Amino acid sequence: MKRIVIILIIVVGWLPCVVVPGQDDAAIKAAKAAAAYAGLRQYQKFSTVDSIRWIWGGDASLSFASTALTNWTGGGEDQIAVAPAVNLFANYKKGKWTWENYGMFNYSIQKNGERKAVKNSDNIQINTKLGHQVSPKWFYTGSFLARTQFSPGYKYSATDTVKVSDIFAPISLYLSIGMDYRPNKNISVAISPLMGKATFANADDIIVLSNAGLVTTEKDATGADVKIPSHSRYELGGGLVISMTGNIFKNKLSYNTQMELFSNYTQHPENIDVTWWVTAKYKIYKNISADIRFDLLFDDDKKPTDENGQLRGAKVQMKSYAGVSVFYQF
Residue ranges making up the domain that contains 9: 2-329
Q: Is 2 left (phi over 0), alpha (psi -120 to 50) or beta?
A: alpha
Percent share of the chain, pLDDT over 90:
35
Q: What is the mean pLDDT of residues 252-272?
A: 91
pLDDT surpassing 70 at residue 36: no
Residues 6 or more apart whose Cβ sits within 8 Å of residue 75: none
19-28: per-residue pLDDT in tens? 333 444 554 4
Angle ∠(81,161,67) on CA atoms, nearest 5: 20
Domain count, the chain: 1
**Listed residue (210, 248, 260) closest to 231, CA to CA:** 210
Provide the pLDDT confidence category of residue 304 given band limits of 50, 70 and 90. Answer: low
Provide the pLDDT confidence category of residue 182 given band limits of 50, 70 and 90. Answer: very high
* Helix or strand run (H / E) with residue 135: none
141 vs 290: CA distance, rounded Å = 35
215-237: per-residue pLDDT in tens? 887 777 777 777 888 999 999 99
pLDDT at residue 187, as a whole number: 92
Provide the pLDDT confidence category of residue 72 given band limits of 50, 70 and 90. Answer: confident
CATH number at residue 143: 2.40.160
Instruction: Tell me the CA distances in angstroms from 294 to 19, 38, 72, 322, one per residue in order.
Output: 36, 19, 33, 9
